[in-house]
Chains A and B, each alone.
Chain A
Amino acid sequence: MAKYVLRRLVGAIPLVLGIATIIFFLINLAPGSPIDLIVGPGVTREFREQMIRNFGLDQPLHIQYVKWLGAMFTGDFGYSFSQTRPVRDVLLGFLPNTVTLSLAALFVAFLFGVVLGTVQAVRQYSALDSGLSVALLFFYSMPSFWLALMLVLVMSLMLGWFPVSGTVSTDYEFLSFTGRVVDRVRHLALPTLSLALVLTAGIARYMRGSMLEVVRQDYVRTAHAKGLPERVVVFKHALRNALIPIVTLVGLYLPFLFSGTVFIETIFAWPGMGRAIVGAIFQRDYPLVMAGSFFFATMVVLANLVADILYAVVDPRIRYE
């Protein structure tokens, strides 16, 4: 197993490097420059050139590339133009927010998805099954930013149950320890729900299908035949096997959650990675864009690896040797 993981990790290096290289040239060749976004009228050419030098953009592209690559190997991702801090600090600052939100959404989505999908499969063609299908399809076809706005409208504006946006309250520093945890969880609720509800629908559909396939297997019929109660058959014999294909989804959704939450982060004023990177692209903040995409590429590779390892955990028949 360890050998397999190692081999996969080594194999990922050229992949991540390739992605980083493509991104480097793409963003540098994109029209527009960070300088245009800063200077106003009255700026002479000398000033512009000084600014270009201050940003280190006066060197030829291939030199910049070699420098950037070299620096990256030493863990130095350079200096963010738009946030006036080292890129590493920028990313490390936003990472905890993104991780918290992604993990919370993933957990909620899988919990609901697996439970609802199982219920639907077990009660196939019942009114409950159809009702859930309609409800899930409703959430599935909903753009998550719209869902987010509706949640704000209902849960915050009308009912006042949850705060509208932000990660903490204004008086956070004055709260007790428990108060702080509660405050954080309350702020986490709506963004998590907006992300999770859409995912839940997909996971539940997969789960339902997978479960239906499993309950037709001989060993499930055998379990029924030897008189085991329904609960035991479903949870002990069927569920684990039905979960195998679902595990793949973790690998698919995790990188999506890390990078694809821009709308949610924007609506809930959640200072996360997605917003940082998209903002950086618009501002031509080359160092931040490159470090960010490097990070996301690494995340995708790692998430896929995690999914493959989870296979082995869920299904003892799968061995990586």
Chain B
Amino acid sequence: MRSLSRTAAARAVFAITASAVLSACGGDGGTRARPVPNVAFCQDVLPRVDAWVAQAREANPTPDDPRFGGTAVVGTIGEMADGMNAAVSSDYSATQHQQFVNLMTLVDYDVDANPRPYLAESWEVAEDNTSVTFHIRQDVYWHDGEQTDAHDVAFTYRVVTNPETAFPNAAFWNHYVQGDEGVEVLDDFTVRVLMEPHAEFLDPFRTVAILPEHLLGDVPPAELKQHPFGTQCPVGNGPFVFWSHSPQERWVFEANPAFPEALGGRPFLDRYVYRIIPEQTTLLAELLTQNIDVYISPAPDQAQRIVDDPEVELLRYPFRNYVLVGWNARRPQLSDARVRRAITMGTDRESIVQAILQGYGTVANGSVPPFHWAYDSDAPGLGYDPDGARALLEEAGWVDRDGDGIRENASGEPLSISIKYNTGNQQRQDIAEIMQAQLSEVGIEVTPQVVEWATLLQQINTPEVRDFDGVVMGWVVEFKLDDTDLFHSERIDEPFAWSGTRNADMDRLLVQLGRTVDREEARALWAEYQEVLIEEQPYTFFYFPERLDGVSTRLMGVQMDARGEWLNVKDWYLDPASR
């Protein structure tokens, strides 16, 4: 019998070591072989990339500077869903990598969000603001050796404005002439796009990276989403060359030796790794043990650990998102703006920000976040005022008629609302529960209700359903702000018109804001818009969280702000003393 257990054990040991060894056989020991996905496109294109990189390395020897070299690792909670495929992705990290890591955009922003040249070395805007002409740099190459030119720009423009592609941020092109008629190649490095005058019209060209026509030109737009370019073998033209991607695990990029000198030249890092670690506790542990150099967006309650550790530091800055409770004004209890204002006044948002965000954030009174040029920190808002709330409710006809502590209207219906939030989001749960406690003080009964994310989206976004009273949600905005889809009465039957309020002033301002090109002129309009938002309260705006990032002190030159974590990744370098 002894022999049996021994052989069984031996077999199991063998099976385990065998599988470990088999997976270790991925390359020929010691040398680095790039994993090539078993897809014709990749097998065709990656060897060309390797050849080009080898040649570029020879032609551009690394400068003699101790800052060059090494690997930096960024740890984050989520995968980049559509990878480098700029035509179909809406994911934040993916867009960042398209803009700053693997691909290039025509323009980028300086610290004040003023456009500056990037892939386009200059541009002219027509006198009447009906077209932009971009002059493309002549020293940028796709990582397989083809030159990037105006045809790539025109191709990208046609693809993202083609409805068949189903580009997720279609609103970018609302005021542009879409499709083939909208873009004209004047010569190999000059391209013109046509538009009607509108606000912040360069913003889409900061966000949407240019794609290679020679590789994707023949792909039917409807099939672009499934093309291996996105996640299996992207070929960019940016400061970092794609090396490998293990889904749900990591992306590896390498320095582009031939990145134009005028744009900063070769990045300092040899390799840059994006690791997916789905658990925040693990991310913190990895940062504290120096296995990752950047922890993207730690939870506010982890911030103190990072502050206390001398080997890592906490970056904090205003960001592009805000958290809100959206009110469904189609419901009889919530149709009166006075009730919605009373709810906001009955909620002590300041103390909630302190409690939930540990102070890493500010109370929101509108939809313009603090990073934005149109933000006014002195903008009026509704402060915490329970007495004012009670008075407003009385005025609106909601009085506690039966002495149960809950107000009723004339026909005896109680002022009772539910607030929905999504599963697994502690901050939103806290908001709903604190509101329940605080609003009972002014005679409003609140029932928090948790719903799974996809189900919740269906309940609030389907115009025929709208099965909610209040909902805790968040928005991430672009530099070009546009609330038309949220609040314009013409969009009331579109998915994102949660509140369904109608306000003629709001409509007028939203249209004007969309058309105003000059920022100073727009500022006055934003202030006026703020007044209307306060009056109407389609949302109880809650807070603008600060963005937090944990960064190892050995990683230097890191700059992060509302433009994103990766905005100067090509200038990051490892402290030479730490290597």
Whether a CB of chain B sits under 8 angstroms from the CB of A259 is no
Given contact pairs A32-B455, A36-B458, A236-B2, A269 touches B279 in the complex (Cβ within 8 A): yes
Given contact pairs A37-B454, A84-B225, A96 touches B16 in the complex (Cβ within 8 A): no
Q: Is the CB of B282 within 8 A of A185?
A: no
Q: Is the CB of A156 within 8 A of B285?
A: yes
Residues on A with C-beta less than 8 A from B170 are 42-44, 47
Given contact pairs A32-B452, A100-B23, A165 touches B1 in the complex (Cβ within 8 A): no
Alpha-carbon distance A176/B486, docked complex (angstroms): 57
Q: Is the CB of A39 within 8 A of B168?
A: yes
29 A-B pairs, CB-CB below 8 angstroms? A32-B454, A32-B456, A36-B454, A36-B457, A36-B461, A40-B171, A41-B485, A41-B495, A47-B170, A54-B166, A54-B225, A96-B22, A96-B23, A100-B16, A100-B20, A107-B13, A157-B289, A166-B249, A170-B71, A173-B27, A184-B24, A266-B279, A267-B279, A267-B281, A267-B282, A269-B276, A269-B279, A275-B248, A275-B278
Residues 214-228 of B contacting A (Cβ, < 8 Å): 222-223, 225-226, 228
Residues on A with C-beta less than 8 A from B163 are 46-47, 50
Alpha-carbon distance A173/B12, docked complex (angstroms): 27
Residues on A with C-beta less than 8 A from B17 are 181
Residues on B with C-beta less than 8 A from A283 are 454
Q: Is the CB of A160 within 8 A of B289?
A: yes
Whether a CB of chain A sits under 8 angstroms from the CB of B277 is yes
Closest Cβ–Cβ distance, residue A170 to chain B (whole Å): 6
Please, which residue of chain B has its CB at the minimum distance from the CB of A99? B19
Please, which residue of chain A has its CB at the minimum distance from the CB of B29? A177
Q: Is the CB of A53 within 8 A of B21?
A: no
Closest Cβ–Cβ distance, residue A78 to chain B (whole Å): 11
Closest Cβ–Cβ distance, residue A313 to chain B (whole Å): 8
Closest Cβ–Cβ distance, residue B365 to chain A (whole Å): 21
Alpha-carbon distance A303/B172, docked complex (angstroms): 53
Q: Is the CB of A181 within 8 A of B285?
A: no
Whether a CB of chain B sits under 8 angstroms from the CB of A25 is no
Residues on A with C-beta less than 8 A from B29 are 176-177, 180
Please, which residue of chain A has its CB at the minimum distance from the CB of B167? A47
Residues on B with C-beta less than 8 A from A90 are 247
Interface string of A261-290 (1 = CB under 8 A from B): 000001111010001100100111000000
Closest Cβ–Cβ distance, residue B533 to chain A (whole Å): 16
Residues 5-44 of B contacting A (Cβ, < 8 Å): 5, 9, 12-13, 15-17, 19-24, 27, 29-30, 32, 38
Residues on B with C-beta less than 8 A from A167 are 249
Residues 179-200 of B contacting A (Cβ, < 8 Å): none
Closest Cβ–Cβ distance, residue B243 to chain A (whole Å): 9
User: 8 tightest CB-CB pairs across the interface, nearest first?
Assistant: A42-B171, A32-B454, A177-B29, A41-B485, A271-B248, A180-B24, A36-B457, A269-B277
Q: Is the CB of B286 within 8 A of A165?
A: yes
Whether a CB of chain A sits under 8 angstroms from the CB of B453 is yes
Given contact pairs A32-B457, A157-B289, A38 touches B16 in the complex (Cβ within 8 A): no
Alpha-carbon distance A99/B2, docked complex (angstroms): 27
**Residue among A37, A106, A176, A236 with most chain B CB within 10 A:** A37
Whether a CB of chain B sits under 8 angstroms from the CB of A237 is yes
Q: Is the CB of A43 within 8 A of B168?
A: yes
Please, which residue of chain A has its CB at the minimum distance from the CB of B453? A282
Q: Is the CB of A93 within 8 A of B5?
A: no
Q: Is the CB of B282 within 8 A of A103?
A: no
Whether a CB of chain A sits under 8 angstroms from the CB of B164 is yes
Q: Is the CB of A30 within 8 A of B230?
A: no
Whether a CB of chain B sits under 8 angstroms from the CB of A33 is yes
Residues on A with C-beta less than 8 A from B231 are 83-85
**Residue among A39, A53, A82, A157 with most chain B CB within 10 A:** A39
Closest Cβ–Cβ distance, residue B36 to chain A (whole Å): 13
Please, which residue of chain A has its CB at the minimum distance from the CB of B4? A240
Please, which residue of chain A has its CB at the minimum distance from the CB of B497? A41
Interface string of A185-229 (1 = CB under 8 A from B): 100100000000000000000000000000000000000000000
Whether a CB of chain A sits under 8 angstroms from the CB of B565 is no
Alpha-carbon distance A36/B462, docked complex (angstroms): 9
Whether a CB of chain B sits under 8 angstroms from the CB of A163 is yes
Whether a CB of chain B sits under 8 angstroms from the CB of A119 is no
**Residue among A50, A114, A236 with most chain B CB within 10 A:** A50
Alpha-carbon distance A107/B250, docked complex (angstroms): 28
Closest Cβ–Cβ distance, residue A31 to chain B (whole Å): 4
Q: Is the CB of A42 within 8 A of B285?
A: no
Residues on A with C-beta less than 8 A from B167 are 47
Picked from B15, B22, B247, B281, the residue with its CB within 8 Å of the CB of A85 is B247
Q: Is the CB of B282 within 8 A of A165?
A: yes
Residues on B with C-beta less than 8 A from A111 are 9, 12
